[in-house]
Amino acid sequence: MDERLVAAYDYELPASLIAQAPAARRDDARLMVLRGWSEEDRCFADLPDLLNPGDLLVLNETRVIAARLHARRESGGKIEILLLHPAGSARYDPQERLWSALLRPAKRVRVGEHVRVVGDEDEVLGEAVVTAMHGAGIGEVRLQIHDDFEVFLARAGRLALPPYIHNDSDEAQERYQTIFARVPGSVAAPTAALHFTSELFTRLAERGIATAKLTLDVGLGTFRPMQGEHLDEHEMHAEHYTIEAETVRQILDTRAAGRRVIAVGTTVVRALEGNARERGALCSGEFTTSLFITPGYEFHVVDAMITNFHLPRSTLLVLVSAFAGRDRILRAYEEAMGRGYRFYSFGDAMLILSRSDRARGVA
C-alpha cells in the first residue's frame, strides 16, 4: 500500500490489549527491542543493559495540568471543558484567562453562554463564558475565577486521561504523570517516560548513560485522528517547546563523540527534529513546532528512540514508521499483539535501536 495514504497506518487491535491501568511498578512494563528486523522481549527495567555507556537519553519534563473541568449550564445540563492552551498562543500561561478548549457535548454549547465550573459535590468554583466555537468541538472560553489559576485547577480539575482508558481512579491520575514532571503546560503525558523510576535512573547513571531534559507542551493535536485520505492533507497543530543551552551542549558533545542520542518519546523527537529542521541547526530557546514527520524524512538529531504503542491512523504511528520503516513497525505491532503486549498510554514500550535507510537519508 502507498505509504502516503492514511489507510496505510491502520490496524485492528483487540480491545482486551488496551491497557486500562499501568504495570504495578513503572519499570515492570514489557519492552520490545527492535534491532533491524528482529524483535526481542525484555522488561523496561532492563534498559541499562540494552544501552551503551556514553549514550544520551533525552526526556520531556513537562507536567500534565488538571485541564479537564466539569461545568453546569443554567438548565442543569452537564458540560465538560478541556482547556488546551491560551487562545492565540501555544505557550502555557497561568495568568491567561481566555483559553482554547474542547467542549463536550459541543452541539449543546452556545456562544455567549455562561456555565458554572463545579468541583466535588457540585461546589461552584468559578464560571466560564463561551466566547467562540470553531467546529469539531473546539471553542474559546473566558474563565472567571478568584483563585490563583493553578490553585483553581487543583480544586476543580482532573488530568484528562485518554478516552480509551475507562479508569479515572486517583491511582490512575497519579500514574499519568512522570516522576520527573516539572514544568506545567501539557494536556497529555509523554507516555514513554511513564516507565522510569528513581532506581532505574540510578542504574543508568552507574552504567555511564547520561540524561538531558527539554520541555514540550503536549497538545491535543498530536493525538487527534488524521483527516483526509493522504498524509499531505493533515495539518499538525503547533506545540510550544523549550530547549536549554546545557541540553544542546550535551547533545552536540554526544554526537561529536560518536555516541547515540536516544529520544524518550515522540514528543522529544518532535522538539529535537523540529528545532534542527526549522532553525537550521540545534539551538537553545523557546519555540513552537508544527513539524509532521512522515516517511522519507531525514532525521538530523535522533539516533534511537523509546516509545509506546500508538493508535492506528495517528500521527505518532506515522512518526515511528518514518523512523524505522512502515513495514517494520507494522510487523512489530503484529508480533506485539500476538505476544500479548499492552497498548497505548498505560501499556508497554518499544526500544527502536535502528533507523530505516530512508530515515538516514540513504536513497
Q: How far is CA 144 from CA 105, 238, 277, 307, in A?
A: 21, 27, 40, 39
Q: Which residue has the cell 506545540?
A: 239
pLDDT at residue 72, rounded to an integer? 96
Report strand pairing: 285-289 vs 349-352: unpaired
With a cut of 90, say whether residue 30 has pLDDT above it.
yes
pLDDT tens track for 175-206? 999 999 999 999 999 999 999 999 999 999 99
What is the C-alpha to C-alpha distance for residues 298 and 315, in angstroms, rounded to an integer? 17
* Mean pLDDT, rounded, of the chain: 95
Query: Which is higher by pLDDT, 192 or 106?
Result: 192
Structural domains in the chain plus CATH codes: 6-64+173-352 (3.40.1780.10), 68-158 (2.40.10.240)
Q: How far is CA 197 from CA 175, 184, 301, in A?
A: 12, 20, 26
What is the C-alpha to C-alpha distance for residues 108 and 99, in angstroms, rounded to an integer? 19
Q: Whole-model pTM?
A: 0.96
pLDDT at residue 363, rounded to an integer? 28
CA angle 183, 310, 233 (to 5 degrees): 95
Q: Give percent of the chain above pLDDT 90.
A: 90
pLDDT tens track for 49-69? 999 999 999 999 999 999 999
Q: What is the mean pLDDT of residues 90-102?
A: 96
Distance of alpha carbon 146 from the chain centroid: 31
